[in-house]
Amino acid sequence: MIVQLKKNASEEQVTAIADQMSALGYKTTRVATGNGSYLVGIGSKEFDIRKLGHMEGVADIHRVSDAYKLVSRKWKVERTAIDLGDGVVIGNGDLSLMAGPCSIESEEQVAATLAHLRENNVRIMRGGVFKPRSSPYAFRGLGIEGLKMWHEQAKKAGVKIISEVMQVSQIDEMVDYVDIFQVGARNTQNFNLLDALGKAGKPVMIKRGISGTIEELLYSAEYVFSAGNEQLILCERGIRTYERASRNTLDINAIPILREKSHLPVVADPSHGIGIREHVEPVALAAIVAGADGIIYETHQSPEEAASDGQQTLNFGESARLIEKARKVAALRQTF
């Protein structure tokens, strides 16, 4: 059960409502985000809803049968949109594109990527400065100095930044220089990180775990929401299956299922999803047909020389073609 509280509800009123929920057999958690205040009740006892409905401070009561609550669509049918400012919104019905290298490498690379994005009217750039790498000997990113350099250029270009945060201590370092925190597939169940991102005050995109279920991804989002941040985006980035012909298996099924189960925007990452440059485009287009609110993919001026993930990274020509086709498919989708 979710009890939405009135904006002006007093402390005494909230305490009285929480006490009543406990008396009705519900374990209660209080949640306050930038958008609203809620009491989340965990329990299953039947009760007369009027026992809460008449109380001062209650704005609305929703019975939510899902195990995750705040991210469920059962209480919020209208879709959540994430407003990054300057007219950049994710989840408002338009297709969002986020593109950039796997890793931020140099000033020149950032400048070239920003110019490519500007030319194609892409408003969000991706890139890692803290890189989770399978091998400790692989390039692990430029770190916070790289992010500052990138931010300076991106700000001038009017382009927003999404970048991966790997640990709690990086949140404060990064917060002034990112528009969206990315939680990577290896950190989807880093519950300390998710809790801390609840207090970050910036949008968070959570990738599905490498072997994570759809429900586990929703629980991870619930962590961030219940810790105080409802500016959330879900990302299907492929899961590990028995198939070895591709790096991962992008689970197209997850896109309509996540959109049915949650009000949060759903983005697909075809680059990590298939891991093969030649096939990124068709997988991206399929994800759009399946209903994705956005696509995040890797592009680099010279993928062969990329410091990481070159094998799945589009060059700028391929990227421009994908952007054009993606927009065509998104326009076609509007007519369905």
| Residues contributing to the site for ligand PEP (CB under 6 A) | 102, 128, 132, 184-186, 207, 237, 272
- What's the min distance (Å) between Cβ of 253 and ligand PEP? 18
184 binds, among Mn ion, ligand PEP, none (CB under 5 to 8 A by kind): ligand PEP
Strand partners, 325: none
185 binds, among Mn ion, ligand PEP, none (CB under 5 to 8 A by kind): ligand PEP
Residue 51 or 240 having the CB closest to Mn ion: 240
* Cα 333 to Cα 198: distance, rounded to the nearest angstrom: 34
Q: Is there binding between residue 164 and Mn ion (CB under 5 A)?
A: no
Residue 132 or 310 having the CB closest to ligand PEP: 132
**Diameter of the chain by CA atoms?**
65
Residue 99 or 257 having the CB closest to ligand PEP: 99
132 binds, among Mn ion, ligand PEP, none (CB under 5 to 8 A by kind): ligand PEP
- What's the min distance (Å) between Cβ of 184 and ligand PEP? 3
Nearest-10 crossing angle of helices 214-226, 254-261: 40
| 95 DSSP assignment | P
* Cα 332 to Cα 282: distance, rounded to the nearest angstrom: 15
127 binds, among Mn ion, ligand PEP, none (CB under 5 to 8 A by kind): none
Q: Which of 38, 52, 309, 314 binds Mn ion (CB under 5 A)?
A: 309
Alpha helices in the chain (DSSP H): 11-23, 50-53, 107-119, 143-157, 168-174, 191-197, 214-226, 254-261, 270-274, 277-289, 316-334
Q: How far apart are the first and last CA of the chain?
A: 35
105 binds, among Mn ion, ligand PEP, none (CB under 5 to 8 A by kind): none
Q: Is there binding between residue 267 and Mn ion (CB under 5 A)?
A: no
Residue 55, token pair as written in the block: 């109380």
Contact 297, 285 (CB under 8 A): no
Residue 91 or 128 having the CB closest to ligand PEP: 128
Nearest to 319 by CA among 26, 118, 25, 49: 118
Q: Is there binding between residue 102 and Mn ion (CB under 5 A)?
A: yes
Residue 297 or 316 having the CB closest to Mn ion: 297
Residue 329: partners with Cβ closer than 8 Å, 6 or more residues away:
285, 288, 289
Residue 170, token pair as written in the block: 């990086």
Q: Which residue is nearest to Mn ion (CB)?
A: 102
| 163 DSSP assignment | E
Residue 57 or 236 having the CB closest to ligand PEP: 236
Residue 74 or 133 having the CB closest to ligand PEP: 133
- What's the min distance (Å) between Cβ of 155 and ligand PEP? 22
What does the binding site for Mn ion look like in residue numbers (CB under 5 A)? Answer: 102, 309
